Amino acid sequence: MEVVIVPDAKAGGELIAGAIGALLSRKPDALLGVATGSTPLPIYQALAAKVRSGEVDASRARICQLDEYVGLPAGHPESYRSVVLREVVVPLGLSEESFMGPDGSAEDVQAACEAYDQALATAGGVDLQLLGIGTDGHIGFNEPCSSLASRTRIKTLTEQTRVDNARFFDNDISQVPHHVITQGIGTILESRHPILLATGEGKAEAVALTVEGPVASFVPASALQLHPHATVVVDEAAASKLKLADYFRATYAAKPRWQGI
């Protein structure tokens, strides 16, 4: 696992957008897994700016979802399909045909989960998967004590996660669904390059447990330690509880530029 400490969220967004641009230059039709929430917005904004300037050609890129609420219609403004279309697909100038995600309104949710897992494999697998992290260490919606071998499946949200997400529903927790479809930890680990971005002091404890703690289902993000090419990008606030912060800074500073992240 590589840990990169950046000054702030904007710098993290620029760094990761640059990595995506480098991937698209090597593989123009790369499948990019995207996360929702406020944390990855600087990535999408920086990447869209690079596309507008002509620095990055994303015209053949493919986009896939990490997770989706169960029970919200596809057209609901806070369904993750709507969010990804609004924040990623449209700003990058892509068509809806370039986008794939699980069907959270399916009558048979379990079948929809299995179908999405298969669709990712049929598409050739995820080349780069963006991740955020919850204050309890969850990635996707794999809450604490999720199986580290789990596949795409339905999960029940913890009360804390529903409270955290109420801000997207006019701060009305009653509107936040209780269930989601999420890529499992095992599914996420099949991506060729997972990149986790964490910003803010509120994520510092979860980051420290993810990076320096033992691999444990109680901290789902710690499973990234098992991946041969996982990157964790954190701002100074989110890095504040890392015991090896100085080492991480030194190793990244000495890294050859051609290696990227």
pLDDT in tens, 199-220: 999 999 999 999 999 999 999 9
> Measured between alpha carbons, how far is 41 from 249 in angstroms, rounded to an integer?
24
pLDDT at residue 74 greater than cutoff 80: no
* Total-model pTM: 0.94
* Residues designated as active site: 67, 136, 138, 143
∠ CA 58-92-113 to the nearest 5 degrees? 90
Residue whose C-alpha is closest to residue 253's, from 3, 1, 85? 3
Find tokens 């269930």 and name the residue. Answer: 179
Calculate the average pLDDT of the chain: 95
Looking at 15-19, 61-65, 124-128, 160-164, which range is the least confident one?
A: 160-164
Burial category of 102 from C-beta neighbours within 10 Å (exposed 0-12, middle 13-18, buried 19 and up): buried
Average pLDDT over residues 234-260: 94
pLDDT at 164: 84
pLDDT in tens, 153-196: 999 988 888 898 899 899 999 999 999 999 999 999 999 999 99
pLDDT at residue 246 greater than cutoff 80: yes
* Percentage helix, strand, coil for the chain under 3-state DSSP, each rounded to 5: 40, 15, 40
Residue whose C-alpha is closest to residue 116's, from 83, 88, 70, 151? 151
